[in-house]
Chains A and B, each alone.
Chain A
Amino acid sequence: MGELILNGLFAVFDPANLVSIFVGVAVGIVMGALPGISVTLAVALILTFTFGMGPTPALFLLLGTYVGGIYGGSISAILIRAPGTPASAATVADGYALARKGRAGEALRIALFASTIAGIFSAFILLFLAPQLAKVALQFGPPEFFALALFGLTIISNVSGDSVVKGVIMGMMGLFVATIGIDPIGGFPRLTFGITNLQGGVSLIPALIGLFAVSELVNRAQVAHLEVEEENTVTDTKLPFSTAIRHLKTALKGSAIGTFIGAIPGTGSAISAFISYNEAKRASRNKEEFGKGSLDGVAAAESGNNGVTGATLIPLLTLGIPGDTVTAVMLGALLIQGLIPGPQLFMDHADIVYTIMVGLIFVNIVMYVMGRFAVRLFARVTSVPINLLIPLLLILSFVGAYAVNNTVFDAKLMMLFGLVGYFAPKYGFPVTPMLLGIVLGPIAEESLRQALILSDGSWGIFVTEPIALVFILLALASFTLPLLKPYFSGNR
């Protein structure tokens, strides 16, 4: 392991990797700072640029965008009270209050300090925990993988919308979409409607760009004509190191919360930011300052959201289960590069995996350097009008969908998924489980059929195999507990 880490460290300094990291972080901060551009949208669109790259530069570009984007969201949250990403929603109250007091520079710097601490903490946990988990996961067979896929689907449905049933319905729809194309076991073309382009299945990239980018851009188009009412400039108030270090405890606590929550599939940075913020408020001696301009509040929220960045990669790399929507996009990137996430990845491509994990630490350091010296520059992007961005991003969406297979058909598919992504949430159906269904579909189908073939068609195999049983029970609990909660709380 030590040798792999050392090799990974050297590989990070390969010029192509370095350029990818710097560009990724810069693009991430800029896109994260743009109000209304989520990190998912940013990563989905940046994915377009990775098609011609090698695996490590491609993943560094995406990781840079991811990490930079989460931090970038705090810039617009602090300066114009518009969180660039949902993850920065918890930063708004204190960050904006500080900016109104002429302390925007301090708020931005404490956000950067806490984000970096949390990002590095999370990356270290990933580096040391993921290989151990992968070793355990190597023992998994078809029943375990099917149970795991089912668990991933239910837990994401659970947290991504108001109704767990609607979430699972969307997940099932995703699974159905994933069955289009050649049958993975028999090689028989299925549900292709006679369309040649569908024989290879529905490509993940057009689906995710449609679900997350096109739908979001159409939503933004409805309010693009509205003027942003308030704007703060970066009054460059310094944050002495002695002051920053006083918030280290909060940042470390937020890092631990973010890392723990991020490692659970389906949670995400917005949830961890709020939990971290609430915990900091609960533990603080100056509770009354929270919401009125507390540096501790900003540190807690930002460490909470950046703490997930490394942790969400744990289930992705070790089990092939994306922890959130952004890592689902990264899963797409890995597949494009011919890398199949899961325990076998640590055996077959250990060099690449360790380079990515070590590189994530470096990505956070680059984010700190960029944020430290270019914060004024990044702050200016908050004034870029959204009505100019929408057409530019629509063009990028088209190219992203088109470039996967060099066919306009995929762009048409993207628009179809765009419709789903636009309308489904309006009726309470979350779209993230659908993407997860598309991603997990092949694993779920193959492992279910293989498990049933192994057991001569007996479904008992999912109960007799202990690990599979645990995941099945967790999936059941994840599905039923939210439905039973009102009974327990007496709130019927």
Chain B
Amino acid sequence: MRTVSSKRREQLISFLVILMGVGLYLFTSYQIEVEERITGLGPAFFPKFVSISLMVLGGFLLLKTFMSNLPGGEVSESPTDEDPSSTGERIWAGALVFIITVAYIYAIEPLGYVLASIISMTAIMWILSVRKWYFYLILVAYVFVTQYFFETVMYIQLP
């Protein structure tokens, strides 16, 4: 369904795509300045080509939102159009799982693979409403089995 708010959202997205293209173009020019003087087909050529393409595509997307009758100008549903609570979704659970996984990656070097995995994933299981105690035992066993498998069988040294 095309609504004014979703149209505005699409315009904002298009504008962000154009901005991103401009930003990437400027960043590329700044980063690869020295080589670019040597030849037009130097290392900056392709990133600039892609940046300009992004600007053009962003402009096209923006144009589509202004011309409501332009074919293909349909806009997708806003992520807020559907109330997550009605479908039983817990957005916060997904966010927490993501945050804990990021923390896990940062903790893995100081704590080591086994300890970091057990602590972080136990927290995730609790957030995901796992209440059966033996599932936690499965997790611990899994951590040790993967460590054994990767280090002993595949010679991949885990942190």
Say whether B43 contacts A218, CB under 8 Å: no
Say whether A172 contacts B44, CB under 8 Å: no
- Number of interface residues, chain B, beta carbon within 8 A: 72
Across the two chains, which residue of chain A brings its CB closest to B61?
A: A165
Roughly how many angstroms separate A2 CA and B88 CA in the complex, as a whole number?
A: 58
Chain A, range 386-405, C-beta contacts under 8 Å to B: 387-388, 390-392, 394-396, 398-399, 402-403
Chain B, range 85-130, C-beta contacts under 8 Å to A: 87-91, 93-94, 97-98, 101-102, 104-105, 108-109, 117, 121, 124-125, 127-130
**Per-residue contact bits, chain A 35-49, to B (CB 8 Å; 1 contact, 0 not):** 000000000000001
Which of B41, B47, B72, B124 lies in contact with A190, CB distance below 8 A? B47
- Residues from chain A with a CB closer than 8 A to the CB of B28 are 190-191
Whether A51 is near chain B, meaning CB under 8 Å from some CB there, is: yes
**Interface Cβ pair total, 8 Å cutoff:** 188
A145 to chain B, nearest CB (A): 14
Whether B150 is near chain A, meaning CB under 8 Å from some CB there, is: yes
Say whether B117 contacts A176, CB under 8 Å: no
Whether B46 is near chain A, meaning CB under 8 Å from some CB there, is: yes
- Residues from chain A with a CB closer than 8 A to the CB of B46 are 175, 179, 444-445, 448-449
Say whether A224 contacts B129, CB under 8 Å: yes
A391-B139 contact, Cβ under 8 Å, with A402-B158, A445-B46: yes
Roughly how many angstroms separate A411 CA and B46 CA in the complex, as a whole number?
A: 27
Across the two chains, which residue of chain A brings its CB closest to B149?
A: A49
In this complex, the interface size class of chain A, counting residues with CB under 8 Å from chain B, is 35 or more
Across the two chains, which residue of chain B brings its CB closest to A484?
A: B71
Roughly how many angstroms separate A38 CA and B135 CA in the complex, as a whole number?
A: 23
Say whether A225 contacts B142, CB under 8 Å: no
Chain B, range 53-85, C-beta contacts under 8 Å to A: 53-54, 57-58, 60-61, 64, 69, 71-72, 74-76, 79, 84
Across the two chains, which residue of chain B brings its CB closest to A444?
A: B46
Whether A271 is near chain B, meaning CB under 8 Å from some CB there, is: no
Give 6 nearest A-B pairs by CB, closest first: A428-B76, A183-B43, A387-B128, A391-B121, A486-B71, A483-B72
Chain B residues with CB under 8 Å of chain A are 9, 13, 17, 24, 27-28, 31-32, 35, 40-47, 49-51, 53-54, 57-58, 60-61, 64, 69, 71-72, 74-76, 79, 84, 87-91, 93-94, 97-98, 101-102, 104-105, 108-109, 117, 121, 124-125, 127-130, 135, 138-139, 142-143, 146, 150, 153-159
